[in-house]
Amino acid sequence: MDETLDRDARVYVAGHGGLVGSAIWRDLEARGFSDLVGWRSSELDLRDARATMDAVREASPDVVVIAAARVGGIMANATEPVEFLNDNLRIQTNLFEAAHAADVDRLLFLGSSCIYPKEAAQPIAERSLLTGPLEPTNAAYAIAKIAGIEAIKAYRSQYGRRWISAMPTNLYGPGDNFDLVRSHVLPAMIRKFHDAKVDGGAVRLWGSGTPRREFLHVDDLADAVHHLLEHYDSAETINVGVGADVSIRELARLVADAVGFDGPVDWDASKPDGTPRKLLDVSRLEELGWRPSIGLEEGIASTYRWFLEHRA
C-alpha cells in the first residue's frame, strides 16, 4: 500500500496532550496537516462512552490515531492493575465504537511491546504474540493492549475497515513524565540523577541493572506513525523500534553523562527487574522503508535539556 495522506484531511489524535500524542501532533503540523483535532482529558473523558461517541461523531475525522492510554512504570502497573486494565479497555472500546459510528476509514491504534510473552525469543517477532505467559508486573496493561489488537482485526474482518495497529518499544523524549512513582525507567533515571546532582548523595536504582531494553525517541515514533498510515494496511500488528538494546546499567551511564553526575550509584537488588530482555524484531517495518534517525545518546541529551526547561 502506498497512499499519500491528504494534508487537508481532518486527523483526530486521541491523547494529543501526552508524550506520544503530542509528538504525533507536532509531526503532523510540521508536515502541513492543517485540520488537527484533539481534546485533553479535562475536556473529554475517553472512559465515558456517550461523551466519546458524541465528540467523535461531531468532529467527523477522516483519520484517527489512538495514542490515549493509562500508562505508568513498574510500580504503578503492579499496584493498580484494575485501573490499568479497566481504563485502557474503556478508552479503546469507546474510541473504536465512536470511530466506526463516524465512518472513519483509516485508524492507527498504538499499543506497547509489553504485549509479548516474558520469555519470548529475542528479538521479538510479531508472531510471538500469545505464545506464552506475560510479565506479571504489567500483565493487566498488556491484556488491554492485546484486546485492542484483536479489536482492530475484528473491525477489519467484519466491517472492512482499513484500521491498523502498531506496537512501539520503550519510548522517551520531550513531554515525558518524570514523576518518580509513575514514570518509566529512562525519565525516572533523568529525574533521579538530576536530583542527586543538585542535592548531592548517591543515586538509588531498582534491580540488578542487567535487564536489557530498547529505547525509541518519541519523535521517531511519530515519524513511523505517519509512514505506516501511508504504507501499511494489514490486520497483523507491526513492531516499531530501533533494533538494538542496552543494559539498564549502560543506560544509567548514558544518563549520568548527559546530566553531568559523577557520584555513586547504588543498585537495590531486592526490587524487581521485570522482563530480562525486550528487543523487538523490526524487520517488517524496515522492509516498508522506515528506520529511526535519533541515536540514544543524542536523544537522552535533548530530553534532559527539555526537562531542565520544563521541570517547574
Question: Which of 12, 141, 155, 232 is an active site residue?
Answer: 141
Q: Where are any strands of DSSP class E within the chain?
A: 10-14, 35-37, 63-66, 106-110, 162-168, 170-172, 203-206, 212-213, 215-217, 238-240, 246-247, 265-268, 277-278
278 in a known ligand binding site: no
Residues 6 or more apart whose CB falls under 8 angstroms from that of 15 comprise 21, 38, 66, 67, 68, 69
DSSP at 135:
P
6 in a known ligand binding site: no
21 in a known ligand binding site: yes
50 in a known ligand binding site: no
Q: Which residue has the cell 488491554?
A: 144
20 in a known ligand binding site: yes
295 in a known ligand binding site: no
194 in a known ligand binding site: no
110 in a known ligand binding site: yes
Which grid coordinates are listed for 205? 536504582
What is the C-alpha radius of gyration for the chain, rounded to an integer number of angstroms? 19
User: What values do phi and psi take at 63, rounded to 5?
Assistant: -135, 140
Which grid coordinates are listed for 180? 518518580
Is-catalytic flag, 155? no
Q: Which residues are catalytic?
A: 141
Numbered residues of the known binding site: 15-21, 110-113, 145, 168-171, 184, 192, 206, 213, 273
Numbered residues of the known binding site for NADP(+): 15-21, 110-113, 145, 168-171, 184
